[in-house]
Amino acid sequence: MKSATHRKTAGQGFTLIEVLFAVAIIGISMVTLVGLEMKTIRLQQISNRITT
C-alpha cells in the first residue's frame, strides 16, 4: 500500500525528468526537420541548375 506522500494529485504537474525528456524529443525533432529542409533547398537549387 502506498503512503499519502507518494500519491500523485491532479494538480501536482510534471516531474523534472518528464519535462527534460519532452524537451529533448522536441529538440531532436527540430534539428532533424531543419536538416531535411536544408537538404531540400540544396536539391532544389541543383535541380534548377540542371533544368536551365
Predicted TM-score (pTM) of this structure: 0.64
**Whole-angstrom distance, CA of residue 8 vs CA of residue 18:** 14
Enter the DSSP assignment of 11: T
The verdict on residue 35 lying in a domain is yes
The verdict on residue 31 lying in a domain is yes
The verdict on residue 28 lying in a domain is yes
- What integer pLDDT is reported at residue 10 of this predicted model? 66
Question: What is Dmax (Cα atoms) for the chain?
Answer: 74
The verdict on residue 52 lying in a domain is no
**Whole-angstrom distance, CA of residue 17 vs CA of residue 2:** 22
From first CA to last CA, the distance across the chain in angstroms is 74
Low-confidence ranges of the chain (pLDDT < 50): none
The verdict on residue 21 lying in a domain is yes
Range of the domain at 37: 16-45
The verdict on residue 6 lying in a domain is no
- What integer pLDDT is reported at residue 12 of this predicted model? 84
For 23, the grid coordinates are: 524537451
